[in-house]
């Protein structure tokens, strides 16, 4: 079984925030792959399905970002999911808008949701960093992260989320470079 985690903050007030791009990715995956309806479990919302024969559980922690690890830790422990089968989608300030990087392990880069996951399940899981761009001034970071995506940003956001869903079989198969290449080409209009 694979556990896909979308990070974000619960509630309508946060739903279009850049910090919630992980929730948006989870929602798109569940919708496009015809997974089950969302259910409340593990201090979060879960949906499940199969992709190319692989069982997949999608989780959106409802604990707020800084405590995401509690929810993920409960799901990992209950289902006995190895951390190398955990894939986390989240916002990354230090990547240009629409850019994506996938890697296993590493530091938190100051991301409180990742710090919480590291504390609860260790750092040996896959990270799908979704670029939202840095505002250029540290004093503007909170407003950037907790601000809503603009209409202009939809031109790359919607194709990125759809592309993530479309390339999910490659991601689950461990073909991370293929995912990044396909998404880069898609967002350049070549995919």
Find the Cα–Cα–Cα–Cα dihedral 181, 144, 156, 66, rounded to 10°: 60
Distance separating alpha carbons of residues 90 and 100, to the nearest angstrom? 10
What amino acid positions are annotated as catalytic residues?
19
- Of 74, 80, 60, the closest CA to residue 1 belongs to 80
- The total number of residues written for the chain in this structure: 191
Distance separating alpha carbons of residues 90 and 83, to the nearest angstrom? 17
Token digits for 22? 């992980």
Count of beta carbons in the 10 Å neighbourhood of residue 102:
17
Give whole-number Cα distances, 65 to 5, 44, 149, in Å.
Answer: 12, 11, 18
Maximum CA extent, the chain: 46
């Amino acid at each position: 079984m694979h556990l896909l985690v979308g990070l974000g903050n619960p509630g309508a007030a946060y739903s279009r925030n850049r910090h919630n791009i992980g929730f948006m990715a989870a929602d798109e995956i569940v919708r496009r792959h015809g997974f089950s309806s969302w259910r409340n479990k593990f201090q979060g919302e879960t949906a499940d399905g199969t992709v190319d024969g692989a069982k997949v559980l999608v989780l959106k922690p409802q604990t707020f970002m800084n405590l995401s690890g509690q929810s993920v830790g409960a799901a990992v422990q209950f289902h006995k999911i190895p951390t190398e089968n955990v894939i986390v989608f989240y916002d990354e300030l230090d990547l240009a808008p629409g850019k994506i990087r996938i890697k296993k392990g590493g530091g938190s880069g100051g991301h409180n949701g990742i710090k919480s996951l590291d504390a609860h399940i260790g750092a040996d899981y896959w990270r799908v960093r979704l670029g939202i761009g840095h505002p250029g001034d540290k004093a503007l970071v909170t407003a950037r992260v907790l601000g809503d995506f603009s209409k202009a940003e939809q031109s790359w956001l919607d194709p990125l989320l759809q592309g993530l869903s479309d390339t999910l079989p490659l991601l689950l198969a461990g073909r991370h470079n293929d995912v990044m290449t396909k998404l880069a080409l898609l967002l350049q209009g070549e995919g």
